[in-house]
Structure 1
Amino acid sequence: MRTFECQCGNTLHFANTRCVSCGLMLGFMPDDKKLSAFTKQQAGVWRAATNGRLYRQCKNYSIQDVCNWMIPVEEQGDLCASCELTLTIPNLDQPDNRRLWFRMEHAKRRLLYTIYKLKLPVKSRRQDPEHGLGFEFLEDQTEDEFGNELTVKNFVTTGHNAGIITLDLKEAEHSSRVKMREEMNEQYRTLVGHFRHESGHYYWDRLVRNSHWLTEFRELFGDERLNYTYALQNYYEHGPAADWHKVWVSAYASMHPWEDWAETWAHYLHMVDTLETASNFDFSVSSHQVINPLQQLPETGDAKSEAHFNQLYNDWCRLTAVLNALNRSMGVDDAYPFVISNIATDKLRFVHKIISDAYTD
C-alpha cells in the first residue's frame, strides 16, 4: 500500500478522511486508485484536487462514517465500488457492531486496492447476479428477536460459496481473533488475511476452473476433485501433514488443493502489497532497492515475467528477514512466520503467471 500526497504537501494514508495539515476532506477515487483532497462545489458534489473531476461521497461515508471512498458524479447509485459489494452488514443496534463493521470494510478496501492494481476482474452481484463478487458480514445467532436462547444455534463460518464471501464478525474483534489463533495453533491470523484467502477461492473459480491452466494447477497443487468434506474432517482430526513445511506455504494449505491455492494466493497478495509499501518508502536491504511489483506486470510467457517474479521473490525474502529481526528486537512475534520451500515457491510463481495473464486481458 502506497501513501499519497495532499495538495498542501502533507503525506496522506489510505484510511484518512481529513488532512491534519490543511483540513480539507479526503476521499479515495477507485477510478484513479488515489486518495485526494476535495473541495465542496455544491450540495453533495466535491471536486478532486488531483484530477479536477467531480465526485459524490459514498453513502457509507457521508452517513455511516465507515467508508472514505468517492463516486464519480456521472455514475448511478449511493454506494461506492467497495460498499456495493457488501450484501449483508452487521446489526447496528448491537453495541460495538459499527466499529467492527468499519474494520471489516477497511480490510475489504485494502484487498480491493491490490485487486484493482493487479487489474483483476471485479464485478458486483448487480453487474453479474450469478458469478459476481459479494460479501456478507455475519455474527453467531444464539438468541431470537425477543432475546430467548435458541435451541438450534446458528454459528457463522468464514468461507466462500459461488462468489459470496462470508466473514464471521468476531474476526474483526482483536481479542476473539487472537483467541482463535491460539486455539487453532496458527502463527498468523489477520482480518486482511481472511479477505485475501477467501478472494483466492473466488478467483480460482474465475481464472483457473475450466481454463487451460487446470492441468498445470493439478500438477502443482493436486487434484481439487478430492472429497473436500473428508479432507476437512481429516485435517481437524489428525492435523496437517508432518512434512507440510516442505510442500505447502502453511499448515492449513496441506488440507486440500483448494486451500493450498487460497493460502498461496493470499501470500502472493501479502507480498505485492507489502513490497509496494516498502518501495514507496524507498526501502533497500543491503544495497538492494525494493521494487514496486504493482507498477507493471510483464506479459505471461515473456522472459521478463520470470525475471519480474524472481526480483519480487528475492525482495520479499530480504525484506521479511529484516521485518522479523525488527519485531524480535521489539519483543513481539515475527511479522512473517513462514519459511517458503522450493515447491511452495513454484506455486507462488504459478499464481504470478495466472495474475499476469489476467492483467494483459
Structure 2
Amino acid sequence: MKLFSCGVCGSTVHFDSIRCEACGTGLGLAPDICDIAMLRDACGMAEDRHGGRWRLCAHNTPDAGCNWLVAEADDDPWCLSCRLNRVIPNLANPDHRRLWKRLEAEKRRFVYSALRFNLPITPQSRDLRGLAFDFLADGPGFSERVLTGHAGGVITINIAEADPVERERMRQEMDEPYRTILGHFRHESGHYYWDRLVRDTDLLEPYRVLFGDERVGYGAALQAHYENGPPVDWGERFISTYATCHPWEDWAESWSHYFHMVDTLETAFAYGMRLTPRTGLTGALSVDAGLDPYETRNFDALMAQWMPLTLALNSLSRSMGHAHAYPFALASPVIDKLRFVHHVIHGGVFADGRSRPSPEIASSF
C-alpha cells in the first residue's frame, strides 16, 4: 500500500486515515483517483488536491468505519467499495458489527488493488456481469454453515473469518501456513476474474497448458483432495496444497498470490526500501524498490525485487520470535503461473466494451 500526504500540512497519512494526526484535518480516500481528499466543512464535503469535490460515504459510521468518499455529482449514498455489498450481517448483533467492520476494512484494500490494475469493478446491482459480496453468519447452533466461495459473480464470506481465534482454528484444521481475511478477498476475486478475463477468450488454451483443464469435475476433485491430500511433490508445481485440488483453485491461489506480491512491493516502494545484505551474495539479495509495481509491465523486474524482500521479511519475523511472514517457496512452474496472471492483468484493458488480451500475449504461453 502506498503512502499518502495531507493536502493541508503535507504530513504523511495512510490508506485508512480519517484525520491528519499533525494538523487535525479530516480525511477520506477518493477511490476514483486513489488519493486522499481533505474534509472542508462540517457537512462532510471534501476536496482533493486537484479541486475535485467529494462527500462522505453513508457507511462513514462507527459500525462500518468506512473512510472512502463519493463524488459530489454521484447520487449513490455509498462509495464504490460499499456499493458492492449485496448482503451484510444483522447489525443488531454487536459481534456481527465488530466482525463486519474488519471485513470491510480488508475489502477496501482489495478494491484499491483492483482499481490500480484497472480491472472491472462494477457492482452487480448495476451490471449483471458485475461483482457482489454477501457477508453471512452461521445459522443457529452452527447447524447451517456458511461456506466462503464464489458463484455467478457473488463472493460469499463467512463473517467468522474476521474472528482471529476462529480463523486460526480453521488455519490449523486445514493445515494452511497462511490464512487471512485479505487473502480470502483476493482468492475469491480470482474466480470472478477468471470468468471475466480468461473464460471465452484466447487465453483459455494457454491457461489450460499451465493450470490444467478446468472441465474436470470440480466436486469430485475437491472430494479427492480432502480424502487423499495433495501429491507428495506438490511444492514443485503449486503455490499451495489447496492449489492442487483443481485448475480453478490453482488459478485463484496464483491470482491471490500475485496481489500479495504487488501490494507488498508497493509498500516497499512507498517507504523507499533498500536492502544491501552484508554478505558475499549482495548482488543476488539486494533490493532497491525504485519502481511502482502496479505500473510496471516487466514481470521479471517484480520477481527480482520480490525474492530478496521475502528473505528479509522472514528473517525479521523470525528475529521477533514469529513464524515466517512469507511461508512460501516459488518453484519455476509456480513463477510461470504468476507470470501468466501478470499478463492477464496487464495484457489489455478489461473494462466493458474495450479490448481483450491480445493474441500475441496468448501465444507467448
Q: TM-score, normalised by structure 2?
A: 0.90
Corresponding residue to 2:222 among 219, 232, 245:
232
Partner residue, 2:28: 27
Partner residue, 2:175: 185
Task: Name which of structure 1's ranges 278-287 and 22-31 shifts more when overlaid on structure 2.
Answer: 278-287
**Kept in 2: contact 1:119–1:358 (CA 8 A):** no
Partner residue, 2:257: 267
Give the C-alpha shift of residue 272 in structure 1: 0.4
Partner residue, 1:171: 161
Return the alpha-carbon distance in structure 1 between the equivalents of residues 46 and 313 of structure 2: 39
Return the alpha-carbon distance in structure 2 between the equivalents of residues 246 and 168 of structure 1: 32
Q: Does 1:135 align with 2:133?
A: yes
Residues 250, 355 of structure 1: CA spacing in aligned structure 2 closer, same or farther, 3 A cutoff?
same
**Kept in 1: contact 2:287–2:309 (CA 8 A):** no
Partner residue, 1:126: 125
Return the alpha-carbon distance in structure 1 between the equivalents of residues 61 and 105 of structure 2: 16
Partner residue, 1:90: 89
**Kept in 1: contact 2:4–2:15 (CA 8 A):** yes
Return the alpha-carbon distance in structure 1 between the equivalents of residues 53 and 64 of structure 2: 20
Return the alpha-carbon distance in structure 1 between the equivalents of residues 148 and 72 of structure 2: 35
Return the alpha-carbon distance in structure 2 between the equivalents of residues 43 and 37 of structure 1: 13
User: SS where residue 212 of structure 1 aligns?
Assistant: coil
Give the C-alpha shift of residue 43 in structure 1: 3.4
Q: Does 1:10 align with 2:14?
A: no
Residue type matched to 1:85 in 2? L
Residue type matched to 1:236 in 2? Y
| Aligned CA-pair RMSD | 1.5
Count, aligned residues: 341
Residue type matched to 1:229 in 2? G
Return the alpha-carbon distance in structure 2 between the equivalents of residues 187 and 203 of structure 1: 25
Residue type matched to 2:122 in 1? K
Give the C-alpha shift of residue 201 in structure 1: 0.3
**Kept in 2: contact 1:39–1:49 (CA 8 A):** no
Residues 291, 254 of structure 1: CA spacing in aligned structure 2 closer, same or farther, 3 A cutoff?
farther
1:279-332 deviations in Å (ceiling 9; x for gaps): 10001222531244445243xxxxxxxxx1001011110100000000000010
Residue type matched to 1:274 in 2? T
User: SS where residue 263 of structure 1 aligns?
Assistant: helix
1:166-202 deviations in Å (ceiling 9; x for gaps): 0010000011001110111110000000000000000
Residue type matched to 1:35 in 2? I
Partner residue, 1:66: 65
Partner residue, 1:245: 235
Partner residue, 1:329: 319
Residue type matched to 1:140 in 2? D
Give the C-alpha shift of residue 16 in structure 1: 1.2
Give the C-alpha shift of residue 62 in structure 1: 4.7
Percent identical among aligned pairs is: 45
1:12-38 deviations in Å (ceiling 9; x for gaps): 111111112211111000111012322
Structure 1, unaligned stretches of length 5 or more?
A: 144-149, 299-307
Q: Which runs of 4+ in 1 moved over 6 A?
A: none
Structure 2, unaligned stretches of length 5 or more?
A: 277-285, 356-365
User: SS where residue 60 of structure 1 aligns?
Assistant: coil
Partner residue, 1:103: 102
Partner residue, 2:310: 320
Residues 295, 154 of structure 1: CA spacing in aligned structure 2 closer, same or farther, 3 A cutoff?
closer
Residue type matched to 2:25 in 1? L
User: SS where residue 347 of structure 2 aligns?
Assistant: helix
Give the C-alpha shift of residue 78 in structure 1: 0.6
Partner residue, 2:38: 37
Return the alpha-carbon distance in structure 2 between the equivalents of residues 100 and 55 of structure 1: 28
